[in-house]
């Protein structure tokens, strides 16, 4: 399948989060704005374009953003539950500043090439963002907000997952290659791939229209 071309580099799973942070060329990026946050700690050459999506959505909405960007030639995957504030001052500042967070991830799995998976412990936020993405994206995409319909390893509900460690909790958004503009046809597109643009706009709109449910609602 053509999508395999974008995973030709081997993904290594031997290094921990703090070890990856110390590798040459790996960057942590932090911008603190509102208390709505986006994060992409598997960014750069690992889950490609996730840090671009998080950064652009944050800029458009005035939200905060934290990302870890691995350079070309480096593909080290570390479990989300091991991404803890004790290993990163930037991450600690981000988690302390934000009320809710959307973590952007990339995945590719047979049977899910057009699925956007809205996981995480804050289910109200997942439903809100999911609704915004349905409005923004072509109908070919399936925005999944029911946890039971998301593969267990992609649900993002572990309590140590950093997206769940902010005050109001968060959601984990898993994005397939197509909506990230990583299919062969999308990469040949002469201007920014429209679905990628719509995705970012949908996320930005969700951030600016989010109102946390009250305790009595």
The mean pLDDT value for 176-182 works out to 95
Question: What proportion of the chain, given as a percentage, has pLDDT over 70?
Answer: 94
User: Taking all residues of the chain, what is their mean pLDDT, rounded to a whole number?
Assistant: 93
Quick check: helix, strand or coil at residue 52? helix
Domains of the chain in start order, with CATH, are 2-209 (3.40.630.100)
- C-alpha distance from residue 170 to each of 7, 84, 114 (Å): 28, 15, 23
Confidence of residue 8 (pLDDT cuts 50, 70, 90): low
| Lookup: tokens for 103 | 């973590």
Residue with structure tokens 């504030």?
85
Write down the pLDDT at residue 18.
96
High-pLDDT (> 90) share of the chain, %: 86
> What digits encode the pLDDT tens for the residues 110-135?
989 999 999 999 999 999 999 999 99
**Residue 192 banded pLDDT, cuts 50, 70, 90:** confident
The span from the CA of 38 to the CA of 175, in Å, is: 14
**pLDDT for the residue numbered 123:** 98
């Amino acid at each position: 399948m053509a999508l395999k071309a974008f995973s030709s580099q081997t993904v290594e799973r031997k290094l921990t989060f703090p070890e990856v942070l110390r590798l040459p060329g790996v960057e942590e990026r932090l911008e603190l704005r509102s208390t709505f946050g986006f994060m992409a700690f598997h960014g750069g050459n690992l889950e490609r374009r996730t840090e671009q999506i998080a950064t652009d959505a944050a800029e458009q909405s005035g939200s905060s953003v934290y990302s870890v960007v691995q350079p070309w030639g480096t593909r080290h995957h570390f479990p989300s539950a091991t991404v803890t504030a004790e290993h990163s001052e930037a991450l600690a500042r981000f988690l302390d500043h934000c009320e809710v967070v959307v973590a952007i991830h990339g995945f590719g799995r047979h049977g899910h090439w057009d699925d956007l998976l809205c996981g995480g412990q804050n289910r109200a936020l997942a439903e809100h963002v999911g609704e915004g993405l349905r409005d923004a994206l072509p109908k070919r995409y399936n925005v999944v907000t029911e946890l039971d319909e998301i593969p267990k390893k992609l649900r993002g509900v572990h309590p140590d997952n950093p997206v769940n460690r902010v005050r109001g909790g968060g959601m984990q958004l898993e994005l397939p290659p197509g909506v990230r503009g990583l299919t062969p046809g999308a990469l040949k597109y002469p201007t920014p791939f429209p679905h990628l643009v719509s995705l970012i706009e949908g996320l930005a709109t969700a951030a600016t229209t989010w109102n946390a449910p009250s305790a009595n609602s």
